[in-house]
Structure 1
Amino acid sequence: MAKTVEQLKAEFATEGKTFVSWANERGYDPTYVSRILNGSIQANYGKAHKIAVELGLKQENSDD
């Protein structure tokens, strides 16, 4: 089951990680990742969907 953004933020806070460091480690633009997290990008397909899957927000074959 996919995580919510709130769950993901809590997980990152517990582990002492930032989304910026997560994005940089994987070669993603931190601003783009932020837009996915705040909902301005729906992440239904393409690169955004791949990022959402890596974050655990969406399932691999999800059409949501």
Structure 2
Amino acid sequence: MDTEISASRLEEARQEFARHGVSIRQWAHIHGFPAQLVYQVLAGRKRCLRGKSHAIAVRLGLKPGVIGSVADIDAVNRQASQRIETAEDAMR
């Protein structure tokens, strides 16, 4: 998976703020992110692989992805394990 966000996509995102008349700081505050981190993401200084920078990039539409937690991943793994056990029981 390509983790690089293109400079043109970052510029488009910055232009969307201007088009909507919303400051980056205001958007960050509304969504509960540190404004400085949002500025760093939009400047291309963060790789946005995990944590808040990942969530910012996904929320801004800069990259595909899911915003979740480790608990969400654990729940998916538990469900998959249960499905496997059920299938194995049915085969016996």
TM-score scaled to structure 2, two decimals?
0.58
Q: Secondary structure at the match of 1:44?
A: coil
Which structure's residues are more often helix, by fraction? 2
Q: Could you say which residue in structure 2 is the equivalent of 1:10?
A: 15
Check conservation: 2:41, 2:53, Cα contact below 8 A: yes
Q: Could you say which residue in structure 1 is the equivalent of 2:60?
A: 55
Pick the structure with greater CA Rg. 2
What is the root-mean-square deviation of aligned Cα atoms in Å?
1.8
Alignment partners' CA distance in 2, 1:41 and 1:56: 15
Q: Unmatched 5+ residue regions in structure 1?
A: none
Q: Could you say which residue in structure 2 is the equivalent of 1:23?
A: 28
TM-score scaled to structure 1, two decimals?
0.81
Q: % of aligned pairs identical?
A: 35
Alignment partners' CA distance in 2, 1:47 and 1:9: 18
* Cα offsets for 1:29-63 (capped at 9, x unmatched): 100111111122110122211110001111116xx
Q: Unmatched 5+ residue regions in structure 2?
A: 67-92
Alignment partners' CA distance in 2, 1:10 and 1:33: 14
1:45 maps to which of 45, 50, 53: 50
Check conservation: 2:14, 2:42, Cα contact below 8 A: no
Structure number with higher relative contact order (C-alpha < 8 Å, ≥ 6 residues apart): 1
4+ long deviations beyond 2 Å = none
